[in-house]
């Protein structure tokens, strides 16, 4: 079946531009996570949704980062006024039920390069 999809796969932005990254989770999956992965590092948690509710945004690095999931399915991660340190791969993951934290299915990621 279809997995988690993300778009675009690659994004180049000039410093100061706003970007929007999209995540389509597996159909019916309640939980949705965003992670940021810098080059050579493991993914780092950004934020978590259960349906449309954003229950944890403790990992968002600054108020320039904003995520939403208005209808409990597709999610968008928005980064305003991008900086070079925002360059990373942004991974989205979904899971069917909140109580199985390890059963997170990851998308391929969006590689963001800020020039």
Partner 1 sequence: LAKTTQPISMDSYEGQEVNITCSHNNIATNDYITWYQQFPSQGPRFIIQGYKTKVTNEVASLFIPADRKSSTLSLPRVSLSDTAVYYCLVMQKTGFQKLVFGTGTRLLVSP
* Binding of partner 1 by 31 (CB under 8 A): yes
Question: Nearest 10 degrees: CA dihedral of 42, 36, 12, 54?
Answer: 160
**Residue 101 beta carbon to partner 1: minimum distance, rounded to whole angstroms:** 5
**Cβ neighbours of residue 106 closer than 8 Å, sequence gap 6 or more:** 4, 91, 92, 93
Integer Cα distance of 26 and 4 in angstroms: 5
> Footprint of partner 1 on residues 47-106 (CB under 8 A)?
48, 50, 55-56, 59, 91-93, 98-104, 106
Per CB under 8 A, residues contacting partner 1 are 4, 31, 33, 35, 40-45, 48, 50, 55-56, 59, 91-93, 98-104, 106-109
């Amino acid at each position: 079946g279809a997995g988690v999809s993300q778009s675009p796969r690659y994004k180049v932005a000039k410093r100061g531009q706003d970007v929007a990254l999209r995540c389509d989770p597996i159909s019916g999956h309640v939980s949705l996570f965003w992670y940021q992965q810098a080059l050579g590092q493991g993914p780092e948690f950004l934020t978590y949704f259960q349906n449309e509710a954003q229950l944890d945004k403790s990992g968002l690095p600054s108020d320039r980062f904003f995520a939403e999931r208005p209808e409990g399915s597709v999610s968008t991660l928005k980064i305003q006024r991008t900086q070079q340190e925002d360059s990373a791969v942004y991974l989205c993951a979904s899971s069917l039920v909140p109580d199985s934290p390890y059963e997170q299915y990851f998308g391929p990621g969006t590689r963001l390069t800020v020039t």
